[in-house]
Structure 1
């Protein structure tokens, strides 16, 4: 499906880091671009694998950058994981960033029967990874959950290793396949679309990760747009399996294409 020929667009999913902001700075034109989408009557959700801060903190950060956003506008992986843990009576060992520990306060963490990885940042030490490994290897039926599958992300000044790298290490060491909560899993995208009341064929995903954002969305039937901001690298445009419906300089350009396609 070509973005320029899709006149039925009713909803837009936006990645946050690398599309709306780069580090603590709003990407030029993005604040105005989000405003244009809403003024055009399009449903907008911010879908993110961000697990270093809570959704409330994320809202505060975006508001300070000039965005008009509320907690219900943001779809992160933590709430979905917590719901799953509660439903299946799972007790996690957490290797996550200290900032998101409050999200898990209501979850029993005694005698763990699963391991949860988020973007733990500096907490990804050998000692902490080895502890998670020992817990997994001693389980009769090990379960490993990862809040995303990214290889790296952009932190304004440089690229940083993401949670997917450390998840792969534990998968290999403990001979277990991680269950991914977040992009690029299909249910993550479907959940956001259900909240918006939009079907995949009428939705666009705009992201800077050619695999998790664009490829993940396309696998669900969405139009996938890659922006040349954030973690984008020129080699992404020649990805062997993911072929974006459009490649644009930034969100402002993407929004212009989206709005033109609806006329």
Structure 2
């Protein structure tokens, strides 16, 4: 079987070809906030929603969609949802290579990863998942661009998706204040956040920006209309990589 015929890959690519900007929901835990940002997101064209069990907002998302999908003349099959409390799940991701209450250095993590993967395959066979795993979410931005990992995913027909496009919550000002990024944002007549999203999108890497502000949710979606030139993509890359988020390589 050719790798391009892999059903999971085809399912992901079909969706992410039209949903390159997904709605991140990390740290958006209020029922009202979830409802408001989903309402704003669906109104401008977001069709990909990302969350996780540890975000503690899955039920709020499911409840909100029951009201908002009809409001925006949408059906469940019109949106792509990563692991949620709804009628079915499009894709269920292994959030982290380690497990709760298990030390990162514990060798049990490896066997647990294998068991988790086997469970995903079983859920797929039972029809509870719409696709088998074919997507890898990683930190990716001009200060931490994982070229080797992107190439590996491409080679093995895995869609690479960027999170933390602005850096972490506590360090994002460092990225947004980067003089080279500011200069490029000015060149493209946009703001730093839109430039950073477009920077990944222009490399065929989908993104998951998160905001509690409905206005910013709508603004982030405008990045899909901005194309960054190849030379400018390279120009803003820092020579010394700086990781802002948790490092999965510390897990055994």
Higher helix share: 2
Q: Which TM-score applies when normalising by structure 2? A: 0.29
